[in-house]
Amino acid sequence: MASLIEDTIKPGIQFINGIKPRDKVAIVYGHDNDTICSATIIYKLLKKLHGIESTLIVSELNSQVTESVLAGIRKSKSDHVIIVDIGTVGVEVLAELRKISDILIIDHHMPKGYVKVAYVNPRIYDKHAYIPATYLCYKLYENYSDAKDVSWIAGIGTLSDMGLKNCNDLFEGVKRDYGELVGNNRNIDEILFDKSLLGKLAKICDSGRVVGGIDGTVLALTALIKAKSYQEILDGRFDESRKLLEFHNLSEKEFNRLVNDFDKSRKQRKGIVVYEVKSKLNMKSPLATFLSRKMKNDVLVIYQKSGKYVDASFRRGGGSKVDLDELASKSVAGIPGSNSGGHIQAAGARFLVKYTNSWLKNLEKGLEQVK
Ligand SMILES: [Mn+2]
């Protein structure tokens, strides 16, 4: 493990060593806690090392690095671009980016064949490794400085991706520095998420995205960057953190309503439980993570309409070995304008609303094939 991480972060250390105090840096991030915590830690590292205030650039829908994201990077005139926890960056975009700056990608999805990019991804060395991006950023930070300042942020991001159990030194670090955040709980993500103060912080940060979409993600990131301690977030001590607490209240109420609705409206198919979330909030992923624990051998598929599209989350019970990345990909096979991605144990898909029925059919067929 130690050498897997050392090998993984080495290109990141080389990249950061090449950043000089007067350089400009842009950090590009996605929308969940793992990515915003990654961005925060890298931001704080560069600030601490060189006083650099990086430009933070949020990706667009589905964490895409689009032309307009590219335009934002160009405008920032950055010498270095760091992209965190974004699974796919298009070749054309990378080619454009390479002309204006050097690039570091810190990620933990299945590795892509990127060229001329510094690439930090544990799956280059072990394709089964499940090490969230925030943890990789934490290890980078630790290479330069005592990481106590950011261990609570690293805890939030890593726990939110349900990967803290694979990162025990971080768990121990949080426990040592901020014992009250984990209490007497063992390092089991599900338990920590439900019962610990760290889990509550994770929910507060995620409520930005849940209630406010991409703008809410930016709000949560701003709060994390501003916060000198986790108490400032828990107590709502400044505008952004106060707003986040309001969002958290709203999202908790809606979450409980939907958990009840799930029991009434879920549809059991062969080996799959399917549930449509009907909500104005972006409740799909937190619900999927929570409800998957009710599954034993079944796959859980939760989907929600968002504009013209349907977004689906794939999770599985502890007794299921179905490769969800593969199932998600089969579910959208042949559906125009669709896409899918993720990990073996958690994946997602997106397609136009009008293809919902074909998608549901593909889903059942796909499960037969993947099993
Ligand atoms: Mn992640």
Domains by residue range for the chain, with CATH = 2-197 (3.90.1640.30), 266-370 (3.10.310.40)
Q: What distance in angstroms lies between residue 271's CA and the mean position of ligand 1's atoms?
A: 27
How many angstroms does the Cα of residue 285 sit away from the middle of ligand 1? 13
Q: In 190-338, at which residue ranges do the beta strands (DSSP E only) sit? A: 267-269, 272-277, 299-306, 309-316
112-169: pLDDT as tens digits: 999 999 999 999 999 999 999 999 999 999 999 999 999 999 999 999 999 999 999 9
Q: Long-range contact list for 334-339, CB < 8 A, 24+ apart?
A: 334/358, 334/362, 335/359, 335/362, 339/62
Quick one: average pLDDT of 178-204? 97
Q: Are 31 and 64 in contact (CB under 8 A)?
A: no
Per-residue DSSP letter, 355: G
Neighbouring CB atoms inside 10 A of 72's CB total 18
Convert the pLDDT of each residue in 309-345 to its tens digit: 999 999 999 899 999 999 999 999 999 999 998 888 8
User: Residue 2: which pLDDT band, with cuts at 50, 70 and 90?
Assistant: confident
How far apart are the CA of 264 and the centre of ligand 1, in A?
31
CA of 316 to the centre of ligand 1 (A): 18
Residue-averaged pLDDT of the chain:
95
Q: Can you tell me the mean pLDDT for 291-299?
A: 92
270: confidence class by pLDDT, cuts 50, 70, 90: confident
pLDDT confidence of residue 343:
85
Q: Is the pLDDT of residue 370 over 90?
A: no
Cα 166 to ligand 1 centre (Å): 13
Average pLDDT value for residue range 43-60: 98
The alpha carbon of 218 and the centre of ligand 1 are apart by a number of angstroms equal to 17
Ligand 1 centroid to 123 CA: how many Å?
A: 13
Q: What pTM was computed for the model?
A: 0.92
pLDDT at 235 over 80: yes
CA quadruple 191, 195, 196, 201: dihedral sign: positive
pLDDT computed for residue 217 by the predictor = 98
Count how many residues are written for the chain. Answer: 371
pLDDT at site 1: 60
